Amino acid sequence: MKRSIESVSLSLLTGLMLFGGAAYSQHPYPVVSMDVSNVAIADTMLSGLPVLDDSTWFETTMHVAVYDTTGIDYLEVKLGTTEGGSELLSRNFSFDVSGGLGDGTSYHRLGYDIDLGLGNYRGLLKYFAGLRIKRSDGTYTGTFTFSR
C-alpha cells in the first residue's frame, strides 16, 4: 500500500505535535533540563589524574537549558550534602546578570543555555542540587533536583 507524501507529512507533523505536548507537560515552563558537573581541580597524582577522596577540591557548575528566555526573574539554586539541603549554597542568580559575582559564583548565558558556577568545594563526592525559577509574574516552577 502506497502512502502519499502529504499523508506521511501530516502523520509526522501530528506525531511531533503530540510528542511536543507531552514534553511540555513534563517540564514546568521554561526549563528543559538541569544537571551538575563536578570537576576535580586539585589533589592530583603525578600522572595528572585526580585523586577522588575527601581532600579533593572540585569546581561545581550547574547547567540549565530553557526553551524560553522571557519572563524569568531569577534562578534559585541550592546545594547540599543531603536531599533538600542547602548548607553549601543557597543563592538566587538574577537572570542575565553575567560574569563573576564576587562570592565564588558566576552566571553565563549563551542563547538558551545557562551555566551557573556554584563555587569550589572540598571533598564533594556526594551532593544534592536543586533549582527552581521565579517567573516575572511572581510564580515559581517546580523544583528540579540532581544528585550524585
CATH number, domain at 141?
Answer: 2.60.40.10
Helices marked H in the chain:
5-26
* E strand map for the chain: 31-40, 57-66, 72-80, 89-94, 99-100, 106-110, 113-122, 128-135, 144-147
Q: Is residue 80 part of a domain?
A: yes
Q: Is residue 121 part of a domain?
A: yes
pLDDT band per the 50, 70, 90 thresholds, residue 127 = very high
pLDDT band per the 50, 70, 90 thresholds, residue 6 = very low
Domains held by the chain: number: 1
Q: Is residue 126 part of a domain?
A: yes
Q: What is the pLDDT of residue 18?
A: 34
Q: Is residue 13 part of a domain?
A: no
Q: What is the pLDDT of residue 29?
A: 67
**pTM of the predicted protein model:** 0.75
Q: Is residue 83 part of a domain?
A: yes
* pLDDT tens per residue, range 11-54: 333 333 333 332 333 346 688 889 999 988 876 666 777 778 88
* List of residues 6+ apart from 14 with CB closer than 8 A: none
Q: Is residue 12 part of a domain?
A: no
Domain that holds residue 116: 28-147
Q: Is residue 5 part of a domain?
A: no
Q: Is residue 4 part of a domain?
A: no
